[in-house]
Chains A and B, each alone.
Chain A
Amino acid sequence: MRNQKEDRFDRMLKSVLDSQADHVCMSPGLEYRIRQTVYESGKEKTKMKNGRKRKFAVALAAVCLLGSITAVAAGTVAGYHSHSWSDAREIKSLADVETVSKTVGYPLKAVETFASGYTLKGGHITDTEAVDSENNVVDAYKEVMFDYEKDGIQVILVEQPMADYKKGDSDHPNQTQIECGDITLTYREDPYKFVPPDYEPTDEEKAAMEAKELYISYGTDKVEETTYHFLTWTQGDILYTFMSYDEDAPGAEELTGMAKELIGLEG
């Protein structure tokens, strides 16, 4: 039989948990990321093979991750919240780029079709907030994400204002520098392993994760491995990022060729 003291303790414990939980609220950024992942995947459902939905979701998150890895080292920015203005894409063709450029307030660079054959499918503006470990906003800006595609393979180009905390993680493994005139391109590969929810990483995998040599993403039916390719550079005050992630996706050489085409364009 429970005594009065136990009841009082139980009430107090419940009250403490309630009051701690009460001040935790869903940020608009988190809500948007979750909805975007699901809605974008839903739209792509008809043309994506099993397992690709998850990879697409990770791809969206990975673009943000590139910066946040750097930012944690700098001790200021600990993460990003992003949300689009609307479900509609502001860029439907190259003709829309100039208008969007005026909207975001900085020059944008894009081509209709790269020499490699990747063709512009659309693009959209994202409002992004950089936050510190206590979820305080320390920077806010608009970034533009362009989708290019060739034979069902996607390449994403992100353009955003440069800031000190977005400078690269020089210690990251699988990273190389490519000189292009007076501009330095940084190419990086991140191996991802997609695994079922009950997957237990081996000790070797845990060590690789600690060393940033492997990223494990839960939620697929079977184990699959995918490498994400990133190419970043700064020109003027703009940070450019190319990202690809399919099995036959372009790697360093092809992405560098595409970067050179953009670098040669007038801003």
Chain B
Amino acid sequence: MDGQEELVRRMQAGDTEAFGRIFDYYGTRLLRMAYLLTGNYADSEDIVQETFETCFFKCGDLKDCSRFTPWLYQILTRNAWRIGRRSRREEPVEELPKSRGQTGLEAERQPLEIIVEDESRAELWKAVQQLSLKMRTVVVLYYYNGLSTKEIARITHCLEGTVKSRLYTARKILERELREGGTAV
């Protein structure tokens, strides 16, 4: 985000307009992260609301403004762990959204192949939701946010080795779930 450090400094001084611009940039992004972590829309709204409130009211605690993004992700993650733990999970969605659209390549594929892949994707999402919250967090930060294991270690307050281990284990669990579901990649 261009000029983010300056916006954070202004927000630290109580500038609500600066907060508004930060919210515009990160709002949907954080809501989607929260949804991937909890699988529950209502919880995601609570998580994001608490995260932005903490962001505005506690941003004075942030000494290095260049570290704003990992600091924000760290708050979101902690809120997700707390709210996700206490809340009952919604039933996994049975049908994946059609947002992928049908590309030219897909149109050329055999219907059976498309069905198998759609089933694999549904199985995979279901399996992601069944991972432990800490393991799911590493998967979301790595695959969805595209963060490095080093960055994830800072956000989740653990050693980089722990992140790599969680990532490796999560991957093995997900692959196993797909194999057992008969829709392995």
Chain A residues near B (Cβ < 8 Å): 5, 8-10, 12-27, 30-31, 33-35, 37-39, 41-42, 45, 53-54, 57, 78-79, 133-135, 197-198, 209, 218-219
Interface pair A16/B57, CB less than 8 Å apart:
no
Residues of B within 8 A of A (CB-CB), count: 49
Main secondary structure of the interface of B (DSSP, over half): helix
Q: Given A17-B140, A19-B97, A35-B23, A41–B57 Cβ distance below 8 Å?
A: yes
Interface pair B57/A19, CB less than 8 Å apart:
no
Q: How far is the CB of B44 from chain A (nearest CB, A)?
A: 7
- The residue in chain A whose Cβ has the minimal distance to the Cβ of B144 is A17
Interface pair A20/B20, CB less than 8 Å apart:
no
Indicate which residue in B27, B32, B78 contacts A197 across the interface (CB closer than 8 Å).
B78
Q: How far is the CB of A59 from chain B (nearest CB, A)?
A: 13
Q: Given A17-B140, A42-B16, A78–B42 Cβ distance below 8 Å?
A: yes
Q: How far is the CB of A81 from chain B (nearest CB, A)?
A: 9
Indicate which residue in B42, B86, B96 contacts A79 across the interface (CB closer than 8 Å).
B42
Main secondary structure of the interface of A (DSSP, over half): helix
Interface pair A21/B35, CB less than 8 Å apart:
yes
Residues in A whose Cβ lies below 8 Å from that of B120: 12
Interface pair A54/B53, CB less than 8 Å apart:
yes
Q: Given A5-B185, A24-B31, A24-B32, A18–B144 Cβ distance below 8 Å?
A: yes
Residues in A whose Cβ lies below 8 Å from that of B99: 19, 22-23
The answer, yes or no, to whether B50 is at the interface (CB within 8 Å) is yes
- The residue in chain A whose Cβ has the minimal distance to the Cβ of B55 is A38
Indicate which residue in A31, A38, A219 contacts B27 across the interface (CB closer than 8 Å).
A31
The answer, yes or no, to whether B72 is at the interface (CB within 8 Å) is no
Given A12-B185, A42-B14, A218-B79, 19 other A-B contacts at CB below 8 A? A13-B139, A16-B125, A17-B139, A17-B144, A19-B121, A20-B36, A20-B93, A21-B32, A26-B31, A30-B49, A31-B27, A34-B27, A35-B23, A38-B16, A41-B56, A78-B42, A134-B41, A218-B50, A219-B50
Interface pair A25/B28, CB less than 8 Å apart:
yes
Interface pair A26/B124, CB less than 8 Å apart:
no
**Interface hits, B1-44 → A, CB 8 Å:** 14, 16, 19-20, 23, 27-28, 31-33, 35-36, 41-42, 44
Question: For the complex, what is the distance from the CA of A25 to the CA of B20, rounded to whole Å?
Answer: 17
The answer, yes or no, to whether B155 is at the interface (CB within 8 Å) is no
Q: How far is the CB of A11 from chain B (nearest CB, A)?
A: 9
Interface pair A20/B42, CB less than 8 Å apart:
no
The answer, yes or no, to whether B100 is at the interface (CB within 8 Å) is yes
Residues in B whose Cβ lies below 8 Å from that of A24: 28, 31-32, 35, 41, 44
Residues in B whose Cβ lies below 8 Å from that of A33: 49
Can you list 17 A-B contacts with CB-CB less than 8 angstroms, sorted by A residue number? A9-B175, A13-B128, A16-B121, A16-B124, A19-B99, A20-B97, A21-B35, A21-B36, A24-B28, A24-B35, A25-B31, A30-B31, A30-B49, A34-B52, A34-B53, A38-B52, A79-B45
- The residue in chain B whose Cβ has the minimal distance to the Cβ of A132 is B42
Across the A-B interface, give the 7 residue pairs with the lowest CB-CB distance, nearest first: A21-B32, A23-B97, A17-B144, A42-B16, A24-B35, A22-B99, A14-B143
Question: For the complex, what is the distance from the CA of A250 to the CA of B20, rounded to whole Å?
Answer: 35
Interface pair B124/A12, CB less than 8 Å apart:
yes
- The residue in chain A whose Cβ has the minimal distance to the Cβ of B83 is A218
Residues in B whose Cβ lies below 8 Å from that of A9: 171, 174-175, 185
Question: For the complex, what is the distance from the CA of A24 to the CA of B28, rounded to whole Å?
Answer: 8
Interface pair A34/B23, CB less than 8 Å apart:
yes
The answer, yes or no, to whether B75 is at the interface (CB within 8 Å) is yes
Q: How far is the CB of A226 from chain B (nearest CB, A)?
A: 16
Interface pair A19/B100, CB less than 8 Å apart:
yes
Q: How far is the CB of A43 from chain B (nearest CB, A)?
A: 9
The answer, yes or no, to whether B90 is at the interface (CB within 8 Å) is yes
Residues in B whose Cβ lies below 8 Å from that of A18: 144
Question: For the complex, what is the distance from the CA of A135 to the CA of B31, rounded to whole Å?
Answer: 14
The answer, yes or no, to whether B58 is at the interface (CB within 8 Å) is yes
The answer, yes or no, to whether B169 is at the interface (CB within 8 Å) is no
- The residue in chain A whose Cβ has the minimal distance to the Cβ of B33 is A21
